[in-house]
Every structure is written in structure tokens, then in C-alpha cells.
Amino acid sequence: MINKKTLEKLSLNMRIFCVSKFSIILFTVLCFTTLVHAEMIKLEGDVRDAESKQFLPGATVWIKDLNSGTVTDIDGKFSLDLPKGSYLIEIRFVGYSPYSRLVTIDKPRSLSFVILPEISQLNEINVLGKKAEDNVVSKQMSMQRLDAAAIKRMPAFMGEVDVIKSIQMLPGVSTAVEGATGFSVRGGTPDQNLVLLDMASIYNVSHLMGFFSIFNNDIVQDATLYKGDMPASVGGRLASLLEVTSRNGEAGPVKGQGGIGTIASRLSLEGSLSPSTTFIVAGRRTYADLALKFSSDKALRESQLYFYDLNMKITQRINEKNRLFLSAYTGDDVFGNKDGSLKLGNTMASLRWNHAFDNHLRRDITLYYTGYRYAFGTPEDELNPFLWVSKIEDAGARYDFKIDKGAFSNFEFGASSIFHMFSPGKITSSSATSFFRNFELSSSNALESGIYAAWIPDITSRLSLKIGLRYSDFRNVGSATVYRFDQNYQRTDSVTYHKGDFFNQYGGFEPRIGFNYRLTPTTSVKGAYNRNLQYMQLAQNSTAGTPFDLWFPASPNVKPQKADQFSLGVFKNLDNNTIELSVEGYYKKMSNTIDFKDHAELFLNPLLEGEIRVGQSESYGMEVLAKMKRNKWNGWLGYTLAHSSRTIDGINGGNEYTSPYDKTHQVSVVLNYEFNTKWSVSSNFVFSTGIPLTIPAGKFDYFGNQVPIYTNRNAYRMPDYHRLDLSVTYRPQSVRKRWFTGEWVFSVYNLYNRHNAWTIGFRQDETNPNETYAEKTYLFPLIPAVTYNFKF
Amino acid sequence: MKSIYLFLSQWLFVLILFSACTERIPLEFGSTYSRLCVESIITTDTMVQKVVLKQSRSYDVNRSPNALTGAKVTINDGFTNFLFKESADSPGVYMSTNEFFGVQGRTYRLRIENVDIDQNGEMEVYNASSTMQYVMPLDSITLFYRSDRKYTELNCWSQEPEGKNWYVFRAMKNGKLANDTASNWFYQKDDLFNGHYTNGITCQFLRDEKANEKPELGDNITLEVCAVNEDYFNFLNALRSETRLQGNPFGGPPANLPTNVSGKAVGFFATFAISRASKKFAGRGN
């Protein structure tokens, strides 16, 4: 009689027997190597899940230097005979992040490896930033990953640790104005960044007009920024992909963490709901408005001013092969007083089903919803009440396959589809006698789909390739009203499409190609070519952006934007991979670049598409990054040399002008030093050339106003920007065992109180109306903050 | 009009300017050639109407602009050519007779000759035209003092006509414009209330902090509703962006104002069809 254990062993043997021909050859090499080396030393060990601590049968244990390895048995154990020496041992298992470790074999050893469930949901070619030598061996370039711990170490504005602010410290990333969460990658506009939270787009990442982002760091696992060299599995934006993944709740009894900060407090709880189910919930809220309740002013007491975030994630391990991830977020900004109220925020939910067919083939099916909306209105008992709502919603599905058989047999393929629903603006009044009439900008829909395939082979021990191709398809779907314009952008007529009508289609191939040639084990050269198409954009012509900026789709009047990016870089690791160096150069050419005519009306304008002007743009630059991961020292030094420009008919006389986010030089230094378990100190320093500025050359009088006359757009620059932030973390060590641990974070933003220009305006003197002058507005002087973080 | 946009702009700035500081900074301004500047509004009032011509100057020149004298200025209403003569007392101010008035529905064409602003020896000719719109009559206005904000609201009661219309709203105190700076005028188009009764919507404010605006008991307060054309509405919109809101990072990039004057001139030749309603200020107790 065959029992269950025997069957499992048989199954495992069959799996081992069925490994590819290539693996058999490798095993032969291993055996040959074993024969020719007389002195062999035994290495034994096991591989376990970091969360559940369960042993993992079938995990690959790979000795990279010998190009050989084995798989763990049914009990998650392995055994290898190795020649004496030091080896980089890599552990791989479908559904888990690869893990590698340098091991010295000079005597028989027994090792236990713990690996993390794969947090990336994008079928990345390699999960990067995890392996020590990743900077050199990964096929991916123009990418950086920051984990929650690294983000937390950085000094934070008003003590609020922020993913987006951390990303802005990386080379190639810049901000238009101080404090904004909108960011520009390699000269692109903020709407050319795709921001995903657990696979769902976030259309507005800002709180409080951009000074904070919606990402509560307690829920963030990590953030990965792809600066144009995106995986074939993702598309829809030209400049970058920022993938934020939330944490899976840690298995075990319920634990919590939180913080009490200067402007907000937060709390998260996590644990197991059952042996196979974990959860995490997290919340954050500001409390400026609570202080208003104590005001003597009645109007202030009745005011509302806060934002909040709520996150939740449930991870369900159905069995060894199937796992479910349910993630959800909602958050709002609320401003209100007796005259009116404004509420704006995002809501998202995603459900991913991860299925491992065997050790090498994995499939993910993801369904998600995301939406951004705002509502602005007056009280209903007003004489002329109104309510104005605007929203954009997506319902999406993805189907992703990943085959990871090593060397020649790494493949990814899949498909995705998103149904976009645009409701740009609707104003209604609850009173029949109201002055306001009902008003609605035409709603519309669009279906954005893509299929992709990528082959990521190791051609030789030195040369790896990444050959990906994506085809994207975009269709406008009724009901919708489309206005037609003549060559002078004047409306001629309109066409109305019924519900469900597909009335316009765009599509195109998007190659995603790259190589990695390893010059030495610690040095490599990488190159990549990418094409990206973008079918949606923000109606935004301000540098800071506002929460009222509308997303609008490609249409019969608006062609998709296109970018071709070429990049080349040298990557080197030093001192046993504790120092990572990289130098990357890039050139990006974009067509159908969108800008807006002078003094465009982007607000509640049914003829918005008539305000668009289209042309070409390009950007090029060099990015240097030196990362350090030592015992006590952590951080990086980044330098960017860049230029980006646009040439658009109808703007600046049709002449080339500097892009609004262009900064020639940018330096960022992020350093963290751990003195001991009690004390650590962190600092950020940033320097950048001022952003482009348009300065008046002349002026004329018009009914009491001195009106500027401009000659060239963005021909000048704001003063250089620089700032130093510092934070000190103190972790009290209690002799008595307490039920919680805590830490104090004292931080100072803008330590030397530089008055960096937020904006420069041109003003008319009140006493002498003929006198005009330049006026700098600066926002943040030295700002201290204290946060207390706790865990229990 | 308490336009939604103004309301939202206020929202945006209230938080940010709370902690903002400003300081004058030295900047090297560029220079540019001199342009003809036209400042003229023809109204439906019977009065001396004016066309004011000046020259633009470099941004860092802090003296009065030079008047443009010696030009030949005519306005044609489709029937008659009116010669506007230069004032003997005010150089650069060209005036009609005191019987001139604009007629709703007529197109007025301005022609400026005998000008050599670029001083190249060749005389230039500038043209502009504007069609006088139709204005709604005002039934009445009401005044409401907001003690929390320390201003008096001028609320408008009138039937707004069907069709696209654009308006400028100005307040007068005892027959004089309370604020004659163009960037402070209120302007609105009717897409959110087309054809509706205005139902007491607020169209202007008189602020206590400004001496020329602050109403006193018994003052005759007038609301002036001026129908303008779309081009002028766009001009005022841009004017506000480039003056009061200049440098606002939530606004669009700086750009030159549009104009309806030909050549390389700046400014605007506008027509206002005006209706008014008045009320005595009865004090701040509402």
C-alpha cells in the first residue's frame, strides 16, 4: 500500500526527473566537478517560509559560482558536496523573493535559509534590491527600490515619513516646487508617472495640496521606481512606474505599531486570523482640526480640516500552490466651514490569486478597482446651493504568467485590461430656485488593454538579455460627446456616441529590450531601449498641480503620447557588495507631447481638447548613484545632470523652450548612522539648480495694472535650491520587560533655515503703482518635529 | 459673482499662505522693444468716451509710461466715422464729444494712424474691433454685511437671458467706481447659470479695509453689470493671472495677454453694455 508520504516523495522525484535538459547538463557538470575535486565538504540545510516558518519542498539552492545546485526535498532540506571555498548561494522558489548569501565552506556546515514571499506583483524579471550583487547582475536598469525601513530612516517633513518624498531624493527624480508630492522623472511631467498600490493605479497621491502623500509608511513594504525601463507587463505612462507594495500581515498573535506625530497619528494591527490567514489594518489621521475645536472663534470651531488613510490587507494561503491577497485603501482630505465643504480622495481594492503550477511556473490573476473623486458644495440650506462632483474610476484585470527555469528558460507573458470611467464634472442644485443650473461635462469611458511577452535569457555566463514586447490597445467607449475643432482650434460641431459604442481606437507595439554584460564579477555594462505609449493625461499646466486637475483620455482629437528611451550604464559593486556604484546615461525622445495654450481654461471647460497644443520633446542626462550598506552606515549619494525641452506649435512662438521640471544639476545625499542600539542619526541634503522661470522684459499700463510683457518662456531660472534635514532617533532600553517598545524621533526640516523660493512673482508696489519688483515666496523655514513610534 | 473658481483658489491658498513668507529679491530683467498700448472701453453711457494710448517700457523702469501723442484715432460704428481728438490737457488721451454712446449689437472699429512707435521712419496703422453685447436689466440689488469677513456683499436680482453671455461686475459708491483697477473687477460667464434668475447671487464686495470701498450709512451703492464679449472676458482672465495671481504655482505658466489690437500692440479695445441698480447703505446691522 502506498501512503501519502510515499506519494509526495514520488511526486518530488518525478519533478526532479522532469527538470529541463539544460538542468541535467548542469547536474552532469556538477557531478564531473565532484569527481575531479578530491576534497569535498558537505553543506546541509533547509529552506523555510519567513512568515509561517514552514519548510519549503522543491526550492532551488543554486551555487552561482559553480553554475550548479539542487532542490530541497519533501521536508524542505538539502545537501550538497562542495569544494572548499566561498560561494554565493542563491535560494529560489516560485512565489518567493530570491535570496542570496555568501557562505564560506571550509568545514561541514548546516545552514537554515529563510525566504520571503514575493512582494512584487509585477512579475519582475528579477526581484531587485534583495540580492547583494543585484546592482551588477540584474538585467534591469534605471530602477531603484526603497524598503520601508530605508524610508523610515530618512528625516521626514513634519515628522511624517513619506514614500514619495523619499523617492524624490533619487537621481533622475525632481520636484517642481518645494513640498509637492508630484514628481518629474527624467524631465517628464507628473502625469507621466504610473503610481500603483498593490497593482491598482492611484490617480492622486497627494494630501493637503501635495505636502503629504497618501502612503502611510506603516503599511508600506517597499517602493520600486522604474525610470522608463519598465517591465513589459506594465504600460500606459511615459516616464516612470512607481510600484508601492503593501505589507502582508505577519503571522502569529496580533501585534501592533503606530506613532504619535506633530500633525498626525497612526496605528496598525496585524496577525493571524487562522493558521493560513494573516491580516494587517492601518489607519492615519491628522488632528489640526481637533485643535480648532478649542478656538474662541465660532467659525473656526465649526471648520473641518483633516485627512485620513485606511489600509487593509488579507493574505490567505489556500494550499501550497494557491494564495490570495486582498488589499484595500481609502482616504480623504476634508476641508469645510459654514460656507462650503470640499472632500477629495482615493479608494482602491485589489484581489490577487497566485497559483504555482510547479516550481517553475507561476500564474497571477488580479482584479482591481480604483477611483479618485472630489466633491465640493455649499450647505443645502443656502439660498443658492450647489454640489459639484468629479471622479475617475478604473476596473481592471490582469493575467500574468512567469516561467523561471533559469538560464535560457525565463519567460513572462500575460494580458491586462482596464476599463476607465471618466466623470469630469457635474454640478447639481438641491433647490429648484437656485441660481445654479445643472451642468455636466460629458462623461466618457475607455478600454485600455495590453498583451506582453518577455524572454530573459542568460546567453553566456557574462551576457544576459531581456527581450520583451508589449502591444497596447486603447478604445474610447460611449456614451460620450466629442467636439470637433478646425485648424484654429475653434469648435465646428460635435458628435454624440451612445452607451457601449466603440468610436475610436489607438494601439501600438512597445519594445522593452535590454542587455547586461558582466565585465568582471563585480562590474557590468547594461543597456536598454524602451518604447512607451500613454493614453491618459492630466489637464494640468501649473507647476504645483491641484487636486482639481482632470484626467482625460486620448480621443479623436488627442493622439497618444509616445516616448522612445535609450539608456546605457556601468554598474559596479565594491567591498563585498556593501558599496554599489552606477552611472547611467539616457536619451528620451517624445512625440505628441501635450502642453496647453497660453492662459488655457482647463477648469470646467467642455471644450478642453481645444486648449491642447501638441509637439515634440526630448530629454537627456546622466545619473550617478553611490549606495552604501555598511553595518553602521547606510545611505546614498546621487547626482543628476539633465536637460529636457519641448517644441510645440503655438507656445513660445513655436520655438524650443525648457521643460518646466528641468534642473541641470541635482545632488542628493542621504546618510544614516547607527551609533548603537539606542541612538541613530540621519540626514538629507539636497541641492539643485533652480527650476526654469519666465521673467518679464517689459510692462504696460492697463486700468491701474502694470502688466508684464514676456519674451521667452522659461528662459531664466529660480535661485538654486538647497536644504539640509536632520533627525535623531532614540530608542530607550528598558531594564524591565514591557509590553511595548518605543522610539523617539526628533527631526528638523531645513536645518539652516534657507529661504528657498517656492515661487517668484512679479508685483506692483502699492504706494508707487509705477514701481514693479520681483517677490520671492518661501514656505518652510526651519521646522522641528517630534514623533513617538511604538510597537507592541 | 462668487464664482466657484475663486472659491477654490481661496481654498488652495488659505493653507499654504498660512505659513508662507515673502521678500523682495533683486533680479536682472531683460529688455524689449516699445509697444503701443491701447486702453479703451466704449460704453452705452452718453458721455465723453476715451481711447488712451501709451507706450510700454522695460520692466525695471519705475516711472510713468510715455503717452503716445499725435496719433489719428477714429472709431467707426458701421454707420459713422467718429474722430477722437487728443486732449489738450492729457497727452495720449483721445476723446469723443460728450454726446457719444455705444449701441448694443453694433460693432465698433478702432483705427489708429500716424504712429511710429518703433521709430523706423515708417508710419504704422493699428486696428481693433469689438461688438457691443446686449445686457440684462437689473431688477434690484440687496446689500448684506458679512461681519466675519468685514465686507458688504452686493447681491443681484435679475433674469439672466438665454444664450452665451459674459459679464463684468463693478461696484460704485456715490456714483464713482469703488475700484477702478481692472484686475479687481469681477467677471463671469453664464455657463453655470444660463437663463436662470440670479436669485440674489453675490456679484461684488465692498471691503471695510479699503477707504474708497468702505460704505457709510446713507451711501448710494450701485452695482454695474456690463455685458462684454468673450475675447474681453478672456483678456480679463489672463490679466488677473498675470497681475494679482502672478507667480501662483497653482496657475498656468506666465504668458502675454491676448489683445484684439492688430500689429504688435498690447492692451484691449473693449465695449461695455451697462445696466445698473442702486441701494442706500443702511448700516452693518443687516
**DSSP codes joined into one string, A326-342:** EEEEEEEEEEEETTEEE
- Domain finish residue from B131, B155, B170: B131
Tell me whether residues B59 and A335 touch, CB distance under 8 A: no
**CA–CA gap between residue A485 and residue A610 (Å, rounded):** 7
- Amino acid letter, A684: N
Q: Does B99 touch chain A (CB under 8 A)?
A: no
Residue A730 in this model has a pLDDT that exceeds 90: yes
Tell me whether residues A699 and B12 touch, CB distance under 8 A: no
**DSSP H or E segment with residue A606:** none
- Domain finish residue from B131, B149, B172: B131
Residue of B nearest to A385 (CA): B201
Q: Beta-carbon neighbour count of residue B106 at 10 Å?
A: 15
User: Residue A602: its chain B contacts at CB < 8 A?
Assistant: 252
Residue A266 in this model has a pLDDT that exceeds 60: yes
Q: What is the pLDDT of residue B95?
A: 97
Q: Is residue B286 part of a domain?
A: no
Q: Which of A239-243, A425-429, A563-567 has the lowest mean pLDDT?
A: A425-429
Rounded to the nearest angstrom, the minimum Cα separation between A654 and chain B is 14
Residues whose CB is less than 8 angstroms from the CB of residue B264 and which lie 6 or more positions away in sequence, other chains included: B33, B35, B36
* Backbone φ and ψ of A292, nearest 5°: -65, -25
Q: What is the pLDDT of residue A158?
A: 85
C-alpha to C-alpha distances, A590 to A192, A563, A616, B90, nearest whole angstrom: 12, 4, 6, 55
Whether residue B186 is found in the same domain as residue B55: no
Range A693-717 burial, b when 16+ CB lie within 10 A, else e: bbbbbbbbbbbebbbbbbbebbbbb
Q: What is the pLDDT of residue A74?
A: 62
Q: Does B8 touch chain A (CB under 8 A)?
A: yes
Among A46, A403, A418, which residue's Cα sits nearest to residue A236? A418
Q: pLDDT tens digits, residue range A464-516? A: 999 999 999 999 999 999 999 999 999 999 999 999 999 999 999 999 999 99
The DSSP symbol for B87 reads: P
Q: What is the pLDDT of residue A18?
A: 35
* Cross-chain CB nearest to B199 (options A384, A697, A768): A384
Residues whose CB is less than 8 angstroms from the CB of residue A653 and which lie 6 or more positions away in sequence, other chains included: none
The residue of A295, A435, A760 whose CB has the most chain B CBs within 10 angstroms, and thus the best one to mutate to test that interface, is A435
Q: What is the pLDDT of residue A429?
A: 85
Whether residue B276 is found in the same domain as residue B138: yes
Tell me whether residues B21 and A709 touch, CB distance under 8 A: no
Q: Beta-carbon neighbour count of residue A540 at 10 Å?
A: 22
Q: pLDDT tens digits, residue range A440-456? A: 899 999 999 999 999 99
Q: What is the pLDDT of residue A71?
A: 76
Whether residue B215 is found in the same domain as residue B250: yes
**DSSP H or E segment with residue A695:** none
Whether residue B252 is found in the same domain as residue B155: yes
3-state DSSP assignment of residue A150? helix
Q: Which chain B residues in 245-274 lie under 8 Å from chain A, judged by CB atoms?
A: 246-258, 266-268
Whether residue B144 is found in the same domain as residue B239: yes
The residue of A694, A702, A713, A780 whose CB has the most chain B CBs within 10 angstroms, and thus the best one to mutate to test that interface, is A702
User: Residue B60: its chain A contacts at CB < 8 A?
Assistant: 772
Q: Does A209 touch chain B (CB under 8 A)?
A: yes
Cell of residue B263, nine digits: 500689429
Cell of residue A754, nine digits: 534657507
Q: pLDDT tens digits, residue range A151-196? A: 888 998 888 889 999 999 999 999 877 777 789 999 999 999 999 9
Whether residue B143 is found in the same domain as residue B253: yes
Q: How does DSSP assign A24-52, residue by residue?
A: HHHHHHHHHHHHH-S-EEEEEEEEEETTT
* Cross-chain CB nearest to B21 (options A388, A760, A778): A778
Q: Is residue B59 part of a domain?
A: yes
Whether residue B204 is found in the same domain as residue B221: yes
- Domain finish residue from B97, B131, B165: B131
| CATH code where residue B76 lies | 2.60.40
3-state DSSP assignment of residue A64? helix
Asked whether the CA dihedral B168, B174, B176, B178 is positive or negative, the reply is: negative
Whether residue B161 is found in the same domain as residue B276: yes
Tell me whether residues A709 and B191 touch, CB distance under 8 A: no
**Are the beta carbons of A723 and A757 closer than 8 angstroms?**
no
**CA–CA gap between residue A350 and residue A396 (Å, rounded):** 9
Residue A28 in this model has a pLDDT that exceeds 50: no
**Are the beta carbons of B161 and B135 closer than 8 angstroms?**
no
Residue of A nearest to B19 (CA): A779
Rounded to the nearest angstrom, the minimum Cα separation between B72 and chain A is 21
Q: Does A575 touch chain B (CB under 8 A)?
A: no
User: Residue A701: its chain B contacts at CB < 8 A?
Assistant: 37, 39, 54, 65
Tell me whether residues A770 and B242 touch, CB distance under 8 A: no
The residue of A709, A720, A770 whose CB has the most chain B CBs within 10 angstroms, and thus the best one to mutate to test that interface, is A709
Cell of residue A437, nine digits: 443650473
The residue of A700, A754, A775 whose CB has the most chain B CBs within 10 angstroms, and thus the best one to mutate to test that interface, is A700
- Rounded-to-10 torsion of CA A18, A20, A25, A26: -100
* Backbone φ and ψ of B271, nearest 5°: -125, 135
Rounded to the nearest angstrom, the minimum Cα separation between B97 and chain A is 22
Q: Is residue B22 part of a domain?
A: no
The DSSP symbol for A110 reads: E
What residue ranges define each of the domains in chain A, with the CATH number in brackets? 4-115 (2.60.40.10), 246-791 (2.40.170.20)
The DSSP symbol for A67 reads: T
Q: What is the pLDDT of residue B16?
A: 54
User: Residue A708: its chain B contacts at CB < 8 A?
Assistant: 59, 242, 246, 254
Q: What is the pLDDT of residue A26?
A: 33
**CA–CA gap between residue A770 and residue B17 (Å, rounded):** 26
Q: Over range A698-705, report the average pLDDT.
A: 96
Q: Is residue B7 part of a domain?
A: no
Q: Which chain B residues in 35-54 lie under 8 Å from chain A, judged by CB atoms?
A: 35, 37, 39, 54
Whether residue B197 is found in the same domain as residue B63: no
Q: How does DSSP assign A372-405, residue by residue?
A: EEEEEE--TTSSS--EEEEEEEEEEEEEEEEEE-
Q: What is the pLDDT of residue A16?
A: 34
**Are the beta carbons of A456 and A412 closer than 8 angstroms?**
yes
User: Residue A542: its chain B contacts at CB < 8 A?
Assistant: 248-252
**CA–CA gap between residue A507 and residue A498 (Å, rounded):** 22
Average pLDDT, chain A: 87
Q: If you count them, how many residues does chain A have? A: 792
**CA–CA gap between residue B276 and residue B139 (Å, rounded):** 9
Strand partners, B158: none
Q: Is residue B205 part of a domain?
A: yes
Q: What is the pLDDT of residue A312?
A: 97
The residue of B1, B12, B22 whose CB has the most chain A CBs within 10 angstroms, and thus the best one to mutate to test that interface, is B22
* Domain encompassing residue B189: 134-257+272-280
Residue A20 in this model has a pLDDT that exceeds 60: no
Whether residue B66 is found in the same domain as residue B185: no
Q: How does DSSP assign A724-749, residue by residue?
A: EEEEEEE----SS--S-EEEEEEEEE
Whether residue B210 is found in the same domain as residue B249: yes
C-alpha to C-alpha distances, B267 to A104, B35, B241, nearest whole angstrom: 80, 10, 15
Residue A588 in this model has a pLDDT that exceeds 60: yes
Q: Give the strand pairing for B201-207 and B220-228.
A: unpaired
Whether residue B112 is found in the same domain as residue B152: no
Q: What is the pLDDT of residue A295?
A: 72
The domain total for chain B is 2
Tell me whether residues A707 and B243 touch, CB distance under 8 A: yes
A271 vs A84: which has the higher pLDDT: A271
Measured between alpha carbons, how far apart are the two ends of chain B, in Å?
20
Q: Which chain B residues in 102-141 lie under 8 Å from chain A, judged by CB atoms?
A: none
The residue of A390, A540, A599 whose CB has the most chain B CBs within 10 angstroms, and thus the best one to mutate to test that interface, is A599
Rounded to the nearest angstrom, the minimum Cα separation between A203 and chain B is 18
Q: What is the pLDDT of residue B17?
A: 52
Q: Beta-carbon neighbour count of residue A117 at 10 Å?
A: 18
**CA–CA gap between residue A82 and residue A188 (Å, rounded):** 51
**Are the beta carbons of B210 and B228 closer than 8 angstroms?**
no
Q: Is residue B27 part of a domain?
A: no
Cell of residue A673, nine digits: 548612522
Measured between alpha carbons, how far apart are the two ends of chain A, in Å?
51
C-alpha to C-alpha distances, A60 to A52, A57, A164, A247, A321, nearest whole angstrom: 19, 9, 36, 25, 16
Q: Beta-carbon neighbour count of residue A282 at 10 Å?
A: 26
* Cross-chain CB nearest to B59 (options A698, A757, A760): A698
Q: pLDDT tens digits, residue range A513-572? A: 999 999 999 999 999 999 999 999 999 988 888 888 899 999 999 999 999 999 999 999
Q: Is residue B11 part of a domain?
A: no
**Are the beta carbons of B244 and B238 closer than 8 angstroms?**
no
Q: Which chain A residues in 615-674 lie under 8 Å from chain B, judged by CB atoms?
A: 660
Tell me whether residues B238 and A543 touch, CB distance under 8 A: no
Cell of residue B186, nine digits: 469681477
Give percent helix, percent strand, percent coil of chain B, each to the nearest 5. 10, 40, 50
Among A744, A742, A726, which residue's Cα sits nearest to residue A734? A742
Residue A54 in this model has a pLDDT that exceeds 70: no
Q: Beta-carbon neighbour count of residue A357 at 10 Å?
A: 12
The DSSP symbol for B235 reads: H
Q: What is the pLDDT of residue A334?
A: 92
**pLDDT, block means (10 residues), chain B with 286 residues:** 48 55 89 95 97 96 94 97 96 96 97 94 96 96 91 94 95 93 92 89 92 94 97 95 83 94 97 97 84
**Are the beta carbons of A278 and A266 closer than 8 angstroms?**
no
Q: Beta-carbon neighbour count of residue A677 at 10 Å?
A: 8
